[in-house]
């Protein structure tokens, strides 16, 4: 069974896409937690960062570099932004497909909650 992210990547489900390349897709979160809240997902499925393997290091690097590119494109680099990767139920993971949240557009407190 496909995750919601796989269905967005295959265009079965519509999304507000803000960036795409061969390896990644970035789209606005349907339940934003900040004025700007974008998810960036690898097109190749890795369930979570805890399941990444050494051979995934290029994709993991592409994910972080892509997140920085998206943040710059959205103007978040001016004042800063937060990148979040959830892992497992206690970490807040709700979709078993590695993804990075890009949050910005307001001051973000710490701890995140």
Cis peptide before 94 (omega within 30 of 0): no
Contacts of 100 (CB under 8 A, 6+ apart): 39, 40, 41, 63, 64, 67, 83, 84, 85
Q: Is 97 a catalytic residue?
A: no
- Residues with pLDDT less than 50, the chain: none
CATH superfamily placement of domain 4-104: HIT-like (3.30.428.10)
Q: Domain ranges in the chain?
A: 4-104
Please tell me which residue in 37, 97, 99, 101 is annotated as part of the active site.
Answer: 99
Res 112: pLDDT: 79
């Amino acid at each position: 069974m496909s995750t919601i992210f796989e269905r967005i990547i295959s265009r079965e489900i519509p999304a507000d896409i803000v960036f795409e390349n061969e390896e990644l897709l970035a789209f606005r979160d349907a339940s934003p937690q900040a004025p700007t809240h974008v998810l960036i997902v690898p097109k190749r499925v890795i369930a979570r960062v805890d399941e990444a393997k050494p051979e995934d290091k290029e994709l993991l690097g592409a994910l972080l570099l892509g997140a920085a590119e998206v943040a710059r494109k959205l103007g978040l680099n001016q004042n800063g932004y937060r990148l979040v990767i959830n892992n497992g139920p206690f970490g807040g993971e709700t979709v078993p497909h590695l993804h990075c949240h890009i949050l910005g557009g307001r001051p973000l407190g710490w701890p995140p909650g």
